[in-house]
């Protein structure tokens, strides 16, 4: 989020020797109870009781660490309501500071901390209220809420959200970029269900954004990603009904079956004779250096199709080395697929009370596909997998169903016509290991790059992507640039 002009950006780094003006402005416009933390090196009087300072390591605020965050903000403000956000933005605009909102801190590249030195970070975490209207099936959430608690609370009213699977992810960044999850084939993206937002614009005004108020922003904020145009303080979301039951069949093969299994997965998705699955069915494949897994999920209680799909999958493949079958209620499923390694069944404690988020250390890349990967590229991909040392995982996820029936220009999310996507991830042990792991990741990614549509998803943001506006925004690039001009800001995601 940038509230300044492009020409200002050039002189911005050089011009400022201290942040006294900012401290004065914030302390006169925010209540004393609002925590504001400055890096100690920027405070003229470190013993002053007026300001808190910290020799902080900024990467502690981001849940994703990869040694890629190298700048220091001027201040971190812990806002507790939209009024605080307005006042911070007014100071920022007056004094030409860049402002970045941090909600769940789960940006893959740490962009909740922005990308520029001496910016203002507004931590939105405390603005996390939840109101469920069980009569009209809507939920109103503070932008700093995380999706785990939202899953928990909506379920108490027999509702849920069609969002992703990590409970610590922040609603704001997630919904603004799309928000894809297991219910995507049934209900689309989370952004498709945003009915209204309250947000602070560059002038510090609190505005309402919906189909009739600020329709261009309403379009843009559903899919273009967080950190652009405005700071959202509240979302009103259309809730969906949770599946009455979830069935999950998983089958694992060792490495020698990788190519056969990958081909079978693709033919299940692409072959006309077998691809007419209902939207209740989701097929996910995970490929690692050690094994390949296909998981079939069924959201509902009619199991014929589920059983038929399992037989279809297994008929032409070698017997899996292991299979598992689970039957769960929706909330247990949400929790179990979140990757938290805790066998407790106390979902309230896990999803609501005990939400201490872990730090993830990974680097990811992502591509969409509208045709199967060729046999030749699969060979290169499998050779690439074998060539590295460490942990690498590729997750294949379907992106069709109801999601692809929504007209492409209805929201800013432009990727409605792909069959599946691959997320490629490595997990370096430390910064030194990172370089070697990145090379490995690139090798595997490039092996199947030319078979892809060459577009990607903003929520899986990758700072190494060249020509990123086209890759993330495709045909919506120009319309987003026009909106950005209208808001007197420009995009702050990636280093220019």
Ligand X SMILES: Cc1cc2nc3c(=O)[nH]c(=O)nc-3n(C[C@H](O)[C@H](O)[C@H](O)COP(=O)(O)OP(=O)(O)OC[C@H]3O[C@@H](n4cnc5c(N)ncnc54)[C@H](O)[C@@H]3O)c2cc1C
Q: Residue 130 has what DSSP assignment?
A: E
Taking CB under 6 A as the criterion, the residue among 107, 119, 160, 201 binding ligand X is 107
Taking CB under 6 A as the criterion, the residue among 12, 38, 78, 111 binding ligand X is 111
Any contact of residue 414 with ligand X (CB under 6 A)? Answer: no
Residues 278-317 that bind ligand X (CB under 6 A): none
Taking CB under 6 A as the criterion, the residue among 226, 243, 320, 401 binding ligand X is 226
Retrieve residue 473's tokens. 């925004």
Any contact of residue 415 with ligand X (CB under 6 A)? Answer: no
Question: If phi over 0 gives left and psi between -120 and 50 gives alpha, with beta otherwise, what is residue 188?
Answer: left
Retrieve residue 110's tokens. 């740490």
The interface region with ligand X, picked from 8-16, 227-235, 340-348, 404-412 by CB under 6 A, is 227-235
CB of 411 to ligand X, least distance (A): 14
User: Which has the closest alpha carbon to 368: 462, 448, 465?
Assistant: 448
Q: What angle do CA 361, 362, 366 make, to 5 degrees?
A: 155
Number of residues that bind ligand X (CB under 6 A): 35
User: Which has the closest alpha carbon to 269: 425, 418, 447?
Assistant: 418
Query: Contact at 8 Å (CB) between 366 and 421?
Result: yes
What are the two backbone dihedrals, phi and then psi, of residue 237, each rounded to the nearest 5 degrees? -125, 140
Residues 126-185 that bind ligand X (CB under 6 A): 143, 164-166, 169-170, 172-174, 176-181
CB of 230 to ligand X, least distance (A): 7
CB of 216 to ligand X, least distance (A): 16
**Is 229 or 277 the residue whose CB approaches ligand X more closely?**
229
Question: If phi over 0 gives left and psi between -120 and 50 gives alpha, with beta otherwise, what is residue 432?
Answer: alpha
Any contact of residue 101 with ligand X (CB under 6 A)? Answer: yes
Q: What angle do CA 168, 170, 176 make, to 5 degrees?
A: 145
Beta strands 138-142 and 231-238, pairing class = antiparallel
Beta-bridge partners for 421: 368, 397
Residues 246-285 that bind ligand X (CB under 6 A): none
CB of 46 to ligand X, least distance (A): 28
CB of 163 to ligand X, least distance (A): 7
CB of 33 to ligand X, least distance (A): 21
CB of 124 to ligand X, least distance (A): 5
322-357 burial, b for 16+ CB within 10 Å, e for fewer?
A: eeeeeebebbebbbbbbebeeeeeebeebbbeeeeb
Distance CA 265, CA 150 (A): 33
**Is 289 or 360 the residue whose CB approaches ligand X more closely?**
360
Q: What angle do CA 340, 441, 448 make, to 5 degrees?
A: 110
Distance CA 175, CA 223 (A): 7
User: Which has the closest alpha carbon to 360: 59, 75, 45, 49?
Assistant: 59
Site string for ligand X, 40-69 (x = CB under 6 A): -----------------------xx-----
Any contact of residue 187 with ligand X (CB under 6 A)? Answer: no
Question: At which residue do the structure tokens 């002053």 appear?
Answer: 48
Any contact of residue 105 with ligand X (CB under 6 A)? Answer: yes
**Is 95 or 199 the residue whose CB approaches ligand X more closely?**
199
**Is 100 or 266 the residue whose CB approaches ligand X more closely?**
100
Any contact of residue 236 with ligand X (CB under 6 A)? Answer: no
**Is 73 or 179 the residue whose CB approaches ligand X more closely?**
179
Any contact of residue 231 with ligand X (CB under 6 A)? Answer: yes
Taking CB under 6 A as the criterion, the residue among 112, 284, 310, 426 binding ligand X is 112
Any contact of residue 186 with ligand X (CB under 6 A)? Answer: no
Give the per-residue SS3 of 301-344. CCCHHHHHHHHHHHHCCCCCCEEEEEEECHHHHHHHCCCCCCCC
The interface region with ligand X, picked from 86-94, 223-231, 323-331, 447-455 by CB under 6 A, is 223-231
CB of 214 to ligand X, least distance (A): 14
> Rule CB under 6 A: which residues touch ligand X?
63-64, 100-108, 111-112, 124, 143, 164-166, 169-170, 172-174, 176-181, 226-227, 231-232, 360, 459
């Amino acid at each position: 989020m940038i509230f300044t002009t492009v020409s200002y950006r050039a002189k911005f780094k050089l011009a400022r020797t201290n942040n006294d003006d900012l401290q004065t402005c914030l302390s006169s416009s925010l209540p004393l109870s609002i925590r504001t933390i400055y890096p100690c090196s920027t405070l003229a009087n470190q013993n002053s009781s007026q300001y808190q300072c910290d020799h902080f390591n900024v990467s502690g605020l981001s849940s994703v660490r990869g040694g890629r965050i190298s700048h220091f903000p001027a201040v971190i403000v812990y806002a507790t309501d939209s009024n605080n956000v307005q006042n911070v933005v007014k100071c920022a605009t007056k004094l030409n500071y860049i402002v970045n909102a941090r909600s769940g801190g789960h940006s893959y590249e740490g962009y909740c901390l922005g990308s520029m030195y001496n910016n203002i970070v507004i931590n939105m975490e405390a603005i996390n209220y939840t109101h469920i209207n069980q009569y009209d099936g809507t939920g109103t959430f503070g932008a700093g809420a995380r999706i785990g608690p939202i899953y928990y609370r909506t379920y108490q009213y027999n509702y849920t959200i069609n969002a992703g699977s990590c409970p610590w992810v922040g609603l704001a960044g997630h919904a603004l970029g799309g928000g894809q999850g297991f219910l995507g084939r049934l209900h689309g993206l989370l952004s498709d269900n945003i009915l209204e937002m309250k947000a602070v614009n560059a002038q510090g005004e609190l505005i309402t954004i919906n189909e009739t108020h600020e329709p261009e922003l309403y379009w843009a904020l559903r899919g273009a990603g967080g950190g652009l145009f405005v700071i959202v303080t509240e979302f009103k979301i259309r809730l969906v009904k949770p599946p009455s039951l979830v069935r999950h069949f998983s089958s694992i093969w060792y490495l020698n079956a990788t190519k056969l299994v990958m081909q079978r997965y693709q033919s299940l998705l692409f072959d006309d004779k077998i691809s007419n699955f209902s939207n209740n069915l989701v097929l996910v494949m995970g490929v690692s250096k050690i094994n390949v897994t296909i998981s079939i999920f069924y959201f509902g209680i009619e199991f014929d199709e589920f059983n038929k799909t399992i037989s279809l999958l297994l008929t032409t493949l070698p017997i899996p080395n292991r299979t598992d079958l689970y039957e769960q209620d929706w909330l247990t499923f949400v929790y179990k697929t979140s990757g938290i390694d805790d066998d407790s069944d106390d979902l309230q404690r896990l999803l609501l009370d005990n939400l201490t988020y872990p730090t993830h250390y990974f680097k990811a890349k992502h591509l969409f596909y509208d045709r199967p990967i060729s046999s030749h590229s699969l060979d290169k991909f499998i050779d690439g997998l074998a060539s590295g040392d460490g942990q690498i995982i590729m997750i294949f996820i379907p992106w069709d169903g109801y999601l692809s029936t929504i007209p492409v220009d209805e929201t800013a999310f432009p990727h409605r016509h792909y069959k599946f996507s691959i997320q490629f991830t490595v997990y370096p042990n430390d910064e030194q290991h990172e370089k070697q792991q990145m090379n490995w990741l690139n090798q595997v990614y490039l092996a199947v790059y030319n078979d892809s549509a060459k577009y990607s998803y903003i929520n899986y943001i990758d700072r190494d992507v060249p020509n990123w506006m086209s890759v993330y925004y495709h045909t919506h690039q120009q319309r987003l640039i026009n909106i950005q001009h209208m808001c007197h800001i420009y995009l702050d995601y990636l280093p220019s």
